[in-house]
Amino acid sequence: MPDFEETKPTDRAHIFIYHPEKKIAIDPLPPQRSKLGMEVNLQHVFAGEIHVWIFFAADDDEFVSETKYLGNFTMIP
């Protein structure tokens, strides 16, 4: 089993948003973990059901977490 570093405030939170009906996706610029949140302004084209995943990566991309499915959401225009 590999040795993993502890999390750091400079780790990046990568999210992936997918609209299955329209077959479009977006992966916004990842903020640092220290921001403790992320705001994404989606265009109207993302109205409807979307699916969201997240993973964290060290600044040097040497360590990357497992990807977690956050669920499906309905975006209202």
Q: Where are the domains of the chain?
A: 12-32+40-75
Distance (Å, whole) CA 45 – CA 27: 15
Helices vs strands, H then E, count in the chain: 0, 4
Give tens-digit pLDDT for 44-61: 899 999 999 999 999 887
Rounded average pLDDT over 10-33: 92
Cβ proximity of 62 and 71 under 8 Å = no
> For the CA atoms of 18, 19, 21, 22, what is the dihedral angle to 10 degrees?
-100
Specify the pLDDT at position 16.
Answer: 95
Dihedral sign for Cα 52, 55, 60, 62, please: negative
Give tens-digit pLDDT for 65-74: 999 999 999 9
Strand partners, 50: 73
Give the confidence band of 1 by pLDDT, cuts at 50, 70, 90.
very low
Cβ-proximal residues to 43 (8 Å cutoff; 6+ apart), any chain: none
